[in-house]
Every structure is written in C-alpha cells, then in structure tokens.
Amino acid sequence: MKIIKIMVSALIFSFCSLSVAGKLILLTENYPPFNMSIEEKNFARGDSIDGISADIVKELMSRADIDYTMTLRFPWSRVYGLAQSKPNYGLFSTAYLDKRKKDFKWVGPLVGNDYVLFSPAGKKFKINSFNDLKKYRIGSYKGSGVAQILKEKGITVIEAYKDNGNPAKLAKGSIDLWATGEVTGRYIASIEGINNLQTVFKVKAIEYYLALNLSTEDALVTSLQNTLNQMRKEGVLDEMKGRYQ
C-alpha cells in the first residue's frame, strides 16, 4: 500500500509539473513566409499571426493540449533574449546552430531554409570560400543566424534592424550581397517588387526549430517532439508549407 501511495504521488507531481510548465509564452518575429503579421505590423498576437512555422506551432500546441500565447514582436535580438532568460518562454522560427545548442531546449525541425547570399541577377561574383567574401559589402539584419555565422568567420556584416530593407539596398548598390534565408529572401524581395535575384553562395543548410527556455520540463519537450513527429508522419507539415508556395 505504501508503494502504491508513493507511485500515485509521483504521478500527481509529474502531471502538475507538466501542467505548470505547459503555460508557454511563445514569441516570434516578422520573417515571411515562416512567421508574419497578417497586417504587416511589427506587433501582433494570436490569430493575427500566420506563416508556415506559425501554423505548424499552433497545430502542435493544439494537439499537445498546451495552454499558450503567441506574440510577434520586434526586434529579433530582443525576443531572442527574452526567450533565453525567462522561464516558460519559447521562440520560433529559430535556426538550430551549434553555438545556440546550449541556450535552449529544442523541438523540431519545423521547416528548412538554407542561408545564402543573394546578388542582383546578371552580376558576376567569383566566390569559392568564405575568405572571398571579405572584400564585399554584405547586408543582413541584427541578431540573424546567418549574420552570426559570417561574423564568426571574420566577415564584416552591415546589420539592419529589419531584413525587408535589404532588397532595396541591394538593388541600389548600397550593399554588394544580401545574406538571408533563401526562401525568406525571395519572399521578402517579391513583396518589395524586386524579383531579379540570384544565389551566389550557400552559407549553410539550415533547419528552423521551436526553441524553449532551459527551465522547460523535459517531459513537456518530449511530448511536443513526439507530437511534431506524428504531424510530420501524417504529412501535416508538408501540407502547411504548401499553403504558402
């Protein structure tokens, strides 16, 4: 009888821990077509946020029966810091990089988006290695994973607060190359009316995840990962990606 009581108490404690940890505050940014404000603003909540990753995360939370809020804010560096420092906070779409592994607990991948360098179509660049990039003016945005990678390799990056101004800078010649996600970059550029882009260098193959604060219960992380795996098996992730193509 004593053993049964101990087991019941342990189950109750585990359930309570999962319930408390399950109140998640999820943050994101304007990063189309993965997460974006429907009204194209730098602040949005709940149903005013859509995109490939946003749709996946909403379905993930619903299936896992997790109580959560979702807020889109600006800039990325700020929301990254909040998710890293505050219990029960999470962040997406977050590039899974070696340098970041220790900063969060991870659920994913949600979707892929290679980091590349764009130039205006027709311009010739001879780029065979990262060292070749050091002579060019490269634009990106503050806190981005691709900017982080390039700077770690000793490459100077001109960082804007928002990525959507970089296509115009590229077209005007204010920067030589634009470092961004391949899917994201083409999407942003098309909105800005700029479609004559060419990929001149692949920085890194990237997968985006939901990054959770390190205080998040392991049981919750496992539950979310298992649910996401099932969604992928059912073809739900591919279907949601197809909505934005």
Shared domain check, 124 and 228: no
Average pLDDT, the chain: 90
What's this model's pTM, rounded to 2 decimal places? Answer: 0.79
Predicted pLDDT of residue 210: 98
Shared domain check, 224 and 155: no
- Report the percent of the chain where pLDDT is more than 70: 91
Q: Is the pLDDT of residue 72 over 70?
A: yes
Shared domain check, 229 and 108: yes
Structure tokens at 46: 């709940």
- Span 47-75, average pLDDT: 97
Tell me which residue has tokens 């390039």: 150
**CB of 143 closer than 8 Å to CB of 161:** no
Shared domain check, 100 and 40: yes
Shared domain check, 216 and 145: no
Shared domain check, 108 and 121: no
- Span 219-243, average pLDDT: 97
**CB of 76 closer than 8 Å to CB of 143:** yes
- Report the percent of the chain where pLDDT is more than 90: 83
- Span 54-80, average pLDDT: 96
- Span 172-179, average pLDDT: 97
**CB of 49 closer than 8 Å to CB of 57:** no
4-55 pLDDT tens trace = 433 333 333 333 333 334 489 999 999 899 999 999 899 999 999 999 999 9
Shared domain check, 211 and 190: no
Q: Is the pLDDT of residue 245 over 80?
A: no
CATH of the domain at 41: 3.40.190.10
- Span 49-69, average pLDDT: 97
Domain assignment of residue 36, yes or no: yes
DSSP 66: -
- The DSSP annotation for 101-150 comes to GGGSEEEEEEEE--EEEEEETT------SGGGGGGS-EEEETT-HHHHHH
* Beta bridge pairs of residue 136: none
User: Where residue 106 falls among pLDDT bands split at 50, 70, 90?
Assistant: very high
User: Residue 96 to residues 6, 126, 235: CA-CA distances in angstroms?
Assistant: 40, 29, 22
Predicted pLDDT of residue 14: 37
Shared domain check, 108 and 21: yes
Shared domain check, 104 and 176: no
Q: What's the domain range around 199?
A: 115-204
Predicted pLDDT of residue 29: 94
In angstroms, the CA 131 to CA 203 distance is 12
Domain assignment of residue 52, yes or no: yes
CA 111 to chain centre: 9
Domain assignment of residue 56, yes or no: yes
**Higher local confidence (pLDDT), 60 or 41:** 60
Least Cα distance to 70 among 38, 112, 113 occurs for 38
- Span 88-92, average pLDDT: 98
Least Cα distance to 203 among 118, 126, 125 occurs for 118
Phi, psi of 236, deg, nearest 5: -65, -40
Residue 221 burial (10 A CB sphere; 0-12, 13-18, 19+) = middle
Neighbours of 203 (CB within 10 A): 21
In angstroms, the CA 169 to CA 150 distance is 19
Structure tokens at 209: 């995840």
Q: Is the pLDDT of residue 2 over 70?
A: no
In angstroms, the CA 174 to CA 203 distance is 21
- Span 60-78, average pLDDT: 96
Q: Is the pLDDT of residue 150 over 60?
A: yes
In angstroms, the CA 29 to CA 67 distance is 20
Number of domains in the chain: 2
- Span 130-142, average pLDDT: 97
Predicted pLDDT of residue 40: 84
Q: What is the CA radius of gyration of the chain?
A: 20
